[in-house]
Chain A
Amino acid sequence: MSQTFKGKITSRRGFLTSAAAVGAGAIVAGAAKGATPDPLITEVQPWAQGLGDGVDATPYGLPIEYENDVIRRNVEWLTADTISSINFTPIHALDGTITPQGCAFERHHSGAIELKKEDYRLMINGLVDTPLIFSYADLERFPRENHVYFCECAANTGMEWAGAQLNGAQFTHGMIHNMEYTGVPLRALLEEAGLDTAGDLSDKWVYVEGADASSNGRSIPMSKALDDVLVAFKANGEALRKEHGYPVRLVVPGWEGNMWVKWLRRVEVTDSAVESREETSKYTDTLADGTSRKWTWAMDAKSVVTSPSPQAPITHGTGPLVITGLAWSGRGAITRVDVSKDGGKTWETARLAKPGEKMALTRFYLDTTWDGTEMFLQSRAIDETGYVQPTKAQLREVRGENSVYHNNCIQTWWVRPNGEAENVEVS
């Protein structure tokens, strides 16, 4: 669960002031030598003398207390109640690409339920040869696969359509996580039930439904269901957390998070889309003329600089600076990320930590030198289809300003000479 921050860090302003002082000192001293001997080195410290915790002090380990500000957070005014709400992954404070489950964003429609493995049932029904019921133990007997995929809520960055609103990468881009899933291809379960009854599969659908009170259900075209959809029961090597659908959730690579039905209880083969609440009244994109796009499933290429950013200001003064961020595409692998320091006048190609993988987060770095002048930091992702992440102006030109979902625009952070950064929109 997300919680109100109760850590020990002083106010942000106080933090920045002291950090600036350190920065200034560093400029004078450079890398050459310190002015006075460092007592952390010259004096014996308690941790170098006494003893630490024994094994088993924490049978399941949590991050050390000094990291207790790296947590999910929500924006209270967004929703009526936390039971039907969303919170945000602290992407500004993470590195690499795998999101730890404990701080991966949550989205519930009727709260995170507690469903035991022994009470778990999965029904396959509809246009199948034999409607089947699987227990959790049954699922573990199918051949398994492992894949890393990002899950992005269609509403990620949605609050930014009308203009720069939320001041932090966690809030503008944190409705995303990226995990290694272990599970069974949905195709295997459908084939176990038999698809001869369905006849021509090219116009068939599956309707997938969760076990919680919201009965969240979505229609997925059969071609996708038979391609790469996974019925997952492990994430990052361990059981799913209850907030992510324990014991079993659906993984729909590259497609909007709402389709990744949690607490998956039923898959029905149908001859048409159900047109459920979540695929008509929600997760549809209203254009300038009032008509709306539906079935906008794939998440287009997108990226964001996670540091520096409003919650991760530059605290070390001028000199070497690592600019880093994340890029992803629901239509394939990221092939390139460019970074601009001047709001899009000029661009440099960033270094990818690893070659991009299909429908998974890619980490990028721009190892640079900061001269202390203001920057308008932007990043733009390019995926294997050649698609270049658009600006907000380009998106608005096609869609107008009333969209809520699928905002994959280029983000700008205004970094000031004191190292602070702010979410802005630029011309």
Chain B
Amino acid sequence: MSKFLKTTGLMLAASIAASPALAGNLGLGRAALPEEIAAWNLDVHPDGTGLPPGSGDVLTGEEVFAQKCAACHGDFAEGVDNWPKLAGGWGTLADKDPLKTVGSYWPYLSTTWDYINRSMPFGNAQSLEPDEVYAMVAYILYSNDLVDEDFVLSNETFLDVEMPNADGFIVDDRMETEHALWVTEPCMENCKEEVKVTMRAMVLDVTPQVDTPDAAAVETPATQVETTVETVPVAAADPALIEAGESVFKKCKACHQIGEGAKNRSGPALNGIVGRAAGSVDGFKYSKPLMAKAEEGLVWTNEALAEFLAAPKSYIKGTKMSFAGLKKEDDLTAIIAYLASFGE
């Protein structure tokens, strides 16, 4: 650190000439109000500074996690698809391809609490109560075998938790370990005996094929589901309503794609969803309760969609879709208009 400060100190001295002179206080801006600072000043430090009072236990955390996190992170925090794994990986840091999770890698518990509190769930950030965050963090610790199932995490027990990799970090030492080696006069001739190819990118073949257009079109099967109901009464599309729906759809984007080239993600692609038979998107693995509804003949009419999207968990108990629901009638009308604007 001290060395670093000296270097930048020198740079500072050199840069003064080029900068406009500051006349000191310009009287710009206004004083921040305490309520404003409280609303934004949420970061939590390793020593617990910034933690609000509250608590949550492992079992409550498991419920909240299943509802709000499992769609991406898996029921056991093991991660779905490319979404981050939050548990496991102990003792793998020195292996080839280490698994870095909260348990195996993260040095401070404060980081987990702070990140979940401010940035999760993906697509619905800053919606959690402090007790929910305590409970979720307790469950993640449990998933990592770091606490027992009767553990209660609170602002008071917070510093009792020992993170396994707390001592696994060193401060940047490149100046000593690398620069000392590589500040040299470089070789210009006869620098090595022979040059052999030891690995080729084209053999590995993982580069996107940017020069073959329409690749996506080839992947999509031409046949479509035949079970589409005859006609769905769709009011003449109102561009303003569709636009409003596009804005509401931001809540869905973390899991669903729609439009040209839409693919299945955590949720199925939604092209042509209005009027389509439930559970009929190719290649998507639906929950059993949803498939049961599909077998009963559920079709996503405007009315069915409105009912489902208002309260997904009560319309289909056990659906994988971890979404609380749209409370406003206007939002429901708008999003259905938006969805209906995309055909197959």
Contact = CB atoms under 8 A, between A and B. Distances in A.
Nearest to B34: A131
B169 A292 contact: yes
Contacts of A276: 43, 111, 114-115
B5 A202 contact: yes
A76 to B, nearest CB: 7
A284 B195 contact: no
Given A4-B213, A422-B201, A426-B197, A228 B15 contact: yes
Contacts of B22: 143, 187-188, 191
A257 interface: no
A281 B182 contact: no
A7 B213 contact: yes
Nearest to A346: B189
A12 B188 contact: no
B201 A423 contact: yes
B102 to A, nearest CB: 8
Interface in B238-286: 250, 253-254, 261, 265
A74 B94 CA distance: 30
Contact of A217 (B43, B122, B202, B215): B43
A111 B249 CA distance: 13
Contacts, number: 305
A292 B190 contact: no
Nearest to B80: A80
Contact of A130 (B31, B44, B102): B31
Contacts of B191: 344-347
A29 interface: no
Nearest to B112: A277
A388 B186 contact: yes
B28 interface: yes
A132 B36 CA distance: 10
A424 B200 contact: yes
B231 interface: no
Given A346-B191, A398-B178, A427-B196, A11 B212 contact: yes
B32 A227 contact: no
A19 interface: no
- Category for how many chain A residues contact B: 35 or more
Contacts of A194: 25
B150 interface: no
Contacts of A291: 93, 168-170
A165 B204 contact: yes
Contact of B202 (A226, A294, A422): A422
Interface residues of B, number: 103
B218 interface: no
A402 B96 CA distance: 6
Contacts of B97: 402
Interface stretch (B6-14, B62-70, B128-136): B6-14
B142 interface: no
A347 B190 CA distance: 9
B110 to A, nearest CB: 7
Interface in A125-178: 125-126, 130-135, 138, 141-145, 163-168, 171
A364 interface: no
A214 B119 contact: yes
Given A165-B201, A294-B170, A294-B171, A265 B192 contact: no
Given A386-B183, A426-B195, A346 B188 contact: yes
Contacts of B25: 191-192, 194
Given A110-B125, A346-B189, A394-B182, A223 B8 contact: yes
A221 B195 contact: no
A84 to B, nearest CB: 7
A363 B265 CA distance: 41
B268 to A, nearest CB: 14
Contacts of B30: 132-133
Contact of A215 (B29, B96, B111, B119): B119
B32 A347 contact: no
B117 to A, nearest CB: 9
A9 B211 CA distance: 8
Interface string B89-118: 000011111101010011110110011001
Nearest to A143: B20
B45 A293 contact: no
Contacts of B210: 4-5, 69, 73, 311
Given A142-B28, A376-B195, A385 B114 contact: no
B216 interface: yes
Contacts of B19: 145, 185
B214 to A, nearest CB: 8
A26 interface: no
A167 B201 contact: yes
A81 B169 contact: no
A278 to B, nearest CB: 9
A346 B107 CA distance: 45
Interface in A272-307: 272, 274-277, 280-281, 284, 286, 288-298, 300
Contacts of B107: 275, 280
A209 B199 contact: no
A126 B1 CA distance: 22
Contact of A286 (B93, B186, B215, B253): B93
A59 to B, nearest CB: 22
Given A133-B31, A142-B28, A293-B171, 8 more contacts: A191-B25, A228-B11, A266-B41, A280-B111, A281-B106, A296-B172, A390-B178, A414-B197
The 10 tightest CB contacts between A and B, nearest first, are A343-B195, A290-B94, A290-B93, A80-B82, A143-B20, A423-B201, A213-B125, A131-B32, A215-B118, A132-B29
26 contacts: A5-B213, A75-B208, A80-B82, A81-B254, A133-B36, A167-B201, A213-B122, A215-B42, A275-B110, A280-B107, A280-B111, A280-B169, A286-B100, A290-B94, A293-B170, A294-B170, A300-B178, A338-B188, A345-B191, A345-B195, A346-B191, A347-B188, A376-B195, A398-B178, A402-B95, A414-B200
